[in-house]
Amino acid sequence: MAQTGKMQTYQDVIEALLRQSAILPPKLLERVENFIEENKRLSFTTREEFIRDAIRFRLERHSGKYEYLKIPKEQYEQLNEAVRKMSTPYHSAEEFINA
């Protein structure tokens, strides 16, 4: 009743819960919880918050508005170093790409 403002049957409540739920494997949830614990600097406090953010990211990524590149961290750091060494007004690879 709280969300709809009308009386709901037990069946209505179960159907609403099922529409708003996703069943995830326990090992995946464990990975999410470990990630949150190990990366507190990212400010995720619950697995639900992390999962919502992950879904938003995937929707944006597959919207066709952006091009995403997968670059090994070591190579990205080398690119940052090269950009810094060149005589350009940019301080990082990200600044260079955005410009």
pLDDT digits (tens, 9 = 90+) for 26-50: 999 999 999 999 999 999 999 999 9
pTM reported for the whole predicted model: 0.60
Q: What local confidence, expressed as pLDDT, does residue 56 receive?
A: 94
Tell the residue number behind the tokens 């940052």, with chain if given. 80
Residue 62 CA, distance from chain mean position: 13
How many C-beta atoms surround the C-beta of residue 31 within 10 A? 13
Residue type at 77 in one-letter notation: E
How many helices (DSSP H) and strands (DSSP E) are in the chain?
5, 0
Place of tokens 């494997």: 25
Give the pLDDT score at 16.
Answer: 81
Q: What tens digit of pLDDT does each residue of 64-94 get?
A: 888 888 889 999 899 888 888 888 888 888 8
Tell me the two tokens of residue 83: 């950009």
Q: Tokens 């990366």 appear where? A: 39
Q: What pLDDT sits at residue 93? A: 82
